[in-house]
Amino acid sequence: MGLSQEADRKIEEIKAKYPNARSAIMPALYMAQEELGHLTGDAIAWVADKVGVSPAHVMEVATFYTMYYKHPVGKYHFQVCRTLSCAIRGAKELTKHLHQKFGILPHEVSGDGMWSYEEVECLGSCGTAPMCEINDVYFENLTPEKLEEIIKELEATQPDIRYSTLKDAIGAGMKNTRSEVI
């Protein structure tokens, strides 16, 4: 099973930007994830076929980075940094709050398909710990209370978010919750 014809067309455009097709592995993985919601075995095979490498090589790349989901995720996926700076400043409390709020464990999806979370290694925002990435957008200097504000805003507005649109979608009232860098 491949991806859509649009994905086939886009991957050819992406490959043309690189001197070597294998350099397009990461954007191809992201494209597959956007279309399917997470990376399946078929998606890995599709990427491998399109860039001319083995599925094992594509899987090596996919498993190295936390930005690629190897399991189904909710509409709003929280990745809580658990490494030293975040751990010292309260990451466990964030994870505990998500567990209590949604009644799920890491890597599970809530019954309504809206929520999922996981703990991940360093996301490179140690100076603004603890932090959480939600659908590819960083939220920093968090507390369980600030995290709850974000969740309530997402529940109320249910924006269709990806990438940087999250910061606009949840409203100006949240600006103090995240870094002004975003």
φ/ψ bin of 95: left (φ > 0), alpha (ψ from -120 to 50), beta (otherwise): alpha
From residue 63, how far is each of 26, 71, 113, 119 by CA, in Å? Answer: 11, 11, 23, 15
Q: What is the mean pLDDT of residues 21-33?
A: 93
Q: Which residue has the higher pLDDT, 135 or 77?
A: 77
pLDDT for the residue numbered 148: 96
Same domain for 81 and 19, yes or no, is no
Phi, psi at 20, each rounded to 5°: -135, 130
Q: Which residue has the higher pLDDT, 167 or 90?
A: 90
pLDDT for the residue numbered 162: 57
Same domain for 96 and 164, yes or no, is yes
Q: Residue 123: pLDDT above 50?
A: yes
Q: What is the mean pLDDT of residues 160-170?
A: 52
pLDDT for the residue numbered 168: 54
- Give the range of the structural domain holding residue 136, as residue numbers without chain letter: 76-174
Do the domain assignments include residue 163? yes
Global confidence as pTM: 0.79
Alpha-carbon gap, residue 72 to 89, rounded angstroms: 29
Q: Residue 170: pLDDT above 80?
A: no
Do the domain assignments include residue 179? no
Same domain for 60 and 85, yes or no, is no
pLDDT for the residue numbered 68: 92
Do the domain assignments include residue 18? yes
For the domain that residue 11 is a member of, what is the CATH number?
A: 1.10.10.1590
Q: Residue 172: pLDDT above 70?
A: no
Identify the burial level of 180 via C-beta atoms within 10 angstroms of its C-beta, where 0-12 means exposed, 13-18 middle and 19 or more buried: exposed
For the domain that residue 149 is a member of, what is the CATH number?
A: 3.40.30.10
Q: Residue 25: pLDDT above 80?
A: yes
Q: Which residue has the higher pLDDT, 74 or 159?
A: 74
Alpha-carbon gap, residue 13 to 86, rounded angstroms: 39
Task: Report the percent of the chain where pLDDT is more than 90.
Answer: 75
